[in-house]
């Protein structure tokens, strides 16, 4: 079974409180999502493999570490996942970025794919699927299905807030995908919104509705 990691660093939790607050305006919301994404990137990259190389300091030659292994690819789920991309790129600036466009039908809650564009070397990369919200899990599962259909196998999922229903659904559909969250909330309401959650992530990031 995959790992479920709750990133409980105090800075993440503090910022998440302001992200949740309904009175936080678009500009601050966007900045806070960006900052939390950077802090979560620190956690999700914690197990990157290291190689040892020799380096000459001004004083002596020594052995030192460099990151090795697969290059990283970020795959935001449009729209709301876009709000986390820049924050992660601050820590992994060489990452390539693919995009998967999905929207949830408001009645059925089923995701519909409307766009996909991945780096050509995506199958060789450690991919991180990004979406602030993991509600029913339908969008994340569809995004991961789309990646696996294109031979991508090394996939992690990063979300700000999840409902237990969404975590369970992703773990059942994709037991190989580790999930990183800032918070695991109580439940979904009858409209498929996470309770207490933060409302509609896309609308709050982009100032729509």
Instruction: Identify the residue among 126, 166, 177, 180 touching ligand PRP (CB under 6 A).
Output: 166
Q: Quick one: CA dihedral 23, 87, 179, 132, positive or negative? A: positive
Q: Which does 160 bind (CB under 5 to 8 A by kind): ligand URA, ligand PRP, none?
A: none
Catalytic residue IDs: 104, 108, 200, 203
Q: Which of 12, 36, 80, 155 binds ligand PRP (CB under 6 A)?
A: 80
By CB neighbour count within 10 A (0-12 exposed, 13-18 middle, 19+ buried), where does 91 fall?
Answer: middle
Among 73, 83, 87, 111, binds ligand PRP (CB under 6 A): 111
C-alpha distance from residue 170 to each of 10, 134, 190 (Å): 26, 9, 20
Q: Which does 194 bind (CB under 5 to 8 A by kind): ligand PRP, ligand URA, none?
A: ligand URA
From the list ligand PRP, ligand URA, none, pick the one residue 4 interacts with, judged by a Cβ distance below 5 to 8 Å according to partner type: none
Show contacts with ligand PRP in window 49-68 (CB under 6 A): none
Residues engaged in binding ligand URA (CB under 6 A): 133, 135, 192-194, 197, 200-202
Residue 166 interaction partner, one of ligand PRP, ligand URA, none, beta carbon < 5-8 Å per kind = ligand PRP
Six-digit token string for 84: 């986390």
Question: 29, 84, 100, 136: which one contacts ligand PRP (CB under 6 A)?
Answer: 136
C-beta separation of 99 from 125 below 8 A: no
- Residues 177/170, Cβ–Cβ less than 8 Å: yes
Please, which residues have CB within 8 angstroms of residue 47's CB and are 6 or more apart in sequence? none
């Amino acid at each position: 079974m995959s790992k479920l990691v709750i990133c409980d660093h105090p800075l993440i939790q503090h910022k998440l409180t302001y992200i949740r607050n309904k009175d936080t305006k678009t500009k601050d919301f966007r900045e806070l999502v960006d900052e939390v994404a950077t802090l979560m990137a620190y956690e999700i990259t914690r197990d990157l493999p290291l190689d040892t190389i020799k380096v000459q300091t001004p004083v002596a030659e020594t052995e030192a570490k460099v990151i090795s292994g697969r290059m990283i690819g970020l795959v935001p789920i449009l729209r709301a996942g876009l709000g986390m991309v820049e924050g992660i790129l601050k820590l992994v600036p060489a990452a390539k970025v693919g995009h998967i466009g999905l929207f949830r039908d408001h009645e059925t809650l089923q995701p519909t794919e409307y766009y996909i564009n991945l780096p050509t070397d995506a199958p060789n990369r450690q991919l991180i699927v990004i979406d602030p919200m993991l509600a029913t899990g339908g969008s994340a599962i569809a995004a991961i299905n789309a990646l696996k259909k294109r031979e991508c196998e090394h996939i992690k999922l990063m979300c700000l807030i999840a409902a237990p229903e969404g975590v369970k659904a992703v773990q059942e559909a994709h037991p190989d995908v580790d999930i990183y969250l800032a918070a695991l909330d109580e439940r979904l309401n009858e409209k498929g919104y996470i309770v207490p959650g933060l409302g509609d992530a896309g609308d709050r990031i982009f100032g729509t509705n």
